[in-house]
Amino acid sequence: MYRSIQRVLQQNGHDAEYKESSKAQIALYSFESFEFVFLAHLLDTILGYTDDLNCALQKRDQDILNAVSLISLTKTQLELLREDDGWEKFLADVTSFCVKRKIVVPKMDGRYKSVGRSKRYYVKLTNYHRFKVDMFLGVIDRQLKELNDRFDEVNTDLLICMSSFNPKDSFASFDKDNLVKLAKFYPKDFSITNLRRLTYQLGNFIADMRGDKDLAK
């Protein structure tokens, strides 16, 4: 919808009767800048890679193992994106978009000129550093940090272990070892003696559940 939004801003900016025509002109100036296009593409790319995971985590009936798989896949995709090949392809896509719409593409080794911000905050800063290091890698690294903080090794193990208690398809994913491992995360509730008993109790439990005709219905 870039063209449509651009036309609206142009019309409003040149309409003397429009009360906020000056704001429309300022918005158009930013809208037609390489920086805006760059950030819009970056936002679209990051959300594109994380969308499946975001949707999966919001489902009440989500398969936990599938969610864990999506977490790992999303991290991998973001890590690949931040490599040189990912940067070059991304920059090529942004540049192509700008060329088609006659937007000036700055040279990456040139000095960065901020759009709508004071120049004193970006003294002797190259476009390469601003766009790749500060924006591109900066945003990706923050996304990866967020995923790693929320889904570290312990949390991931917890999710995997919890999935073993899923009653779907007559407890098809039931795994006694994983459930014992899950209990070990709560030492105050499960002593060594209780853990030994739990192994047998889980065996009795699954046999009872799978043999229950009412549950099978």
**The Cα angle at residue 119 between residues 114 and 123, in degrees rounded to 5:** 105
109 CB-side CA count, 13 A: 0
pLDDT of residue 60: 65
pLDDT of residue 22: 85
pLDDT of residue 179: 83
Average pLDDT along the chain, 217 residues, taken 10 residues at a time: 88 80 87 94 95 83 73 93 94 96 94 74 83 96 92 76 71 78 83 84 82 64
Q: Which residues pair with 126 in a beta bridge?
A: 111
Contact yes or no for 122/42 (Cβ under 8 A): no
- Distance CA(51)–CA(45), nearest Å, equals 10
pLDDT of residue 159: 74
Backbone conformation region of residue 165, classed left if phi is above 0, alpha if psi is from -120 to 50, else beta = alpha
pLDDT of residue 92: 97
pTM for the predicted model, two decimal places? 0.71
pLDDT of residue 79: 95
pLDDT of residue 122: 65
Give per-residue pLDDT as tens, 65-114: 777 888 889 999 999 999 999 999 999 999 999 999 999 999 999 999 88
Contact yes or no for 53/74 (Cβ under 8 A): yes
Q: Which of 149, 141, 142 is nearest to 79 (CA)?
A: 141
pLDDT of residue 99: 96
pLDDT of residue 88: 96
